[in-house]
Amino acid sequence: MSRWILSPIRNLLSSQCRNQTRHQDCHLWSRNINNSTAVNSLLIPFLRHSKLSYGLARQISKKSYQFPELREEDLEEHFERGSGPGGQAVNKTANCVFLKHKPTGLVVKCHATRSQETNRKRARETLLVKLDDLINGDKSFRSQQIKELSEDKAQKKTKACKNLELKKSFKEREGLE
C-alpha cells in the first residue's frame, strides 16, 4: 500500500521513493512511497495532525510481533475426510486437518482448501493465534489488533461528529434551511 506525500518532506524520503509525478492542478511535487516501518518513523512527527497520517502508524504488525514458540513434538496431527460441497473429491480424500496442542489441549480443525499441505499450514497459523490468546491474554496479537481498530473507529466517529457540528453551525450562521 502506498501514500502520496507532498513536497515539504520529500527530501527526507528520497531513499524510499519509487516514482515522482507532478500534479496538474497545483505546483507541488508528490512522491509515491512504500508504507514501511522506516517511513512511518520519519512521517509520524510531520503528519501527526494531517489527513495523510491516517493508517500509517500501526503499533503492531505480524512481522514484528513475537508469537509463542510452536514445537512439532507438542503437536498431535491427524487427517480425516472433509465434509461439505465438492462431491466425490471431498468424500475420497483425507485433506481435513485436526491439530492438537498436547500441553494446553487446544484443538484446531482446518478444511479450508482441497490441498492437505495448505490446510496444514493454515491449521498451524490458527493454532498459533489461539495459543497466543491463551498465553498472553490482553497482550496477544489479536487483542492488540482489535484494540487498535476500536481506537481508529472511535477517532473516526469523533471526527465525523465534529464535522457535523461545524456544518450545523455554518448553516445556522448563514441562514440556510
Q: How would you classify the pairing of strands 96-101 and 75-80?
A: antiparallel
| Nearest CA-CA partner of 104 in 78, 68, 79 | 68
Residue span of the structural domain in which 15 resides? 1-48
pLDDT of residue 154: 95
| Mean of pLDDT values over 82-87 | 81
CATH number at residue 83: 3.30.160.20
User: Which residues contact residue 104 at a Cβ distance below 8 angstroms, ignoring those fewer than 6 apart?
Assistant: 131, 134
C-alpha cell at 79: 487427517
* Structural domain contains residue 78: yes
C-alpha cell at 111: 478444511
Question: How large a percentage of the chain has pLDDT more than 70?
Answer: 66
* Structural domain contains residue 93: yes
Separation between Cα atoms, residue 55 and residue 153, nearest integer Å: 12
* Structural domain contains residue 156: no
Q: Is the pLDDT of residue 148 over 80?
A: yes
Q: Is the pLDDT of residue 24 over 50?
A: no
On whether both 43 and 77 belong to a single domain, the answer is no
Separation between Cα atoms, residue 175 and residue 177, nearest integer Å: 7
Higher pLDDT, 45 or 93: 93
pLDDT digits (tens, 9 = 90+) for 89-107: 777 889 999 999 999 999 9
pLDDT of residue 108: 94
Separation between Cα atoms, residue 171 and residue 157, nearest integer Å: 21
Lowest-pLDDT range of 17-26, 39-48, 54-63: 17-26
pLDDT of residue 58: 60
Instruction: Read off the pLDDT band of 141 (50, 70, 90).
Output: confident
C-alpha cell at 153: 473507529
| Nearest CA-CA partner of 106 in 129, 72, 81, 85 | 129
On whether both 83 and 128 belong to a single domain, the answer is yes
pLDDT of residue 35: 43
| Mean of pLDDT values over 69-91 | 86
- Do residues 84 and 111 touch, judged by C-beta distance below 8 A? yes
Looking at the 3D structure of the chain, how many domains does it have?
2
On whether both 82 and 132 belong to a single domain, the answer is yes
* Structural domain contains residue 154: no
* Structural domain contains residue 166: no
pLDDT of residue 86: 77
* Structural domain contains residue 169: no
* Structural domain contains residue 56: no
pLDDT of residue 150: 93
The answer for 62, left when phi > 0, alpha when psi is -120 to 50, beta otherwise, is: alpha
Q: What is the mean pLDDT of the chain?
A: 74
Amino acid identity at 125: E
* Structural domain contains residue 147: no
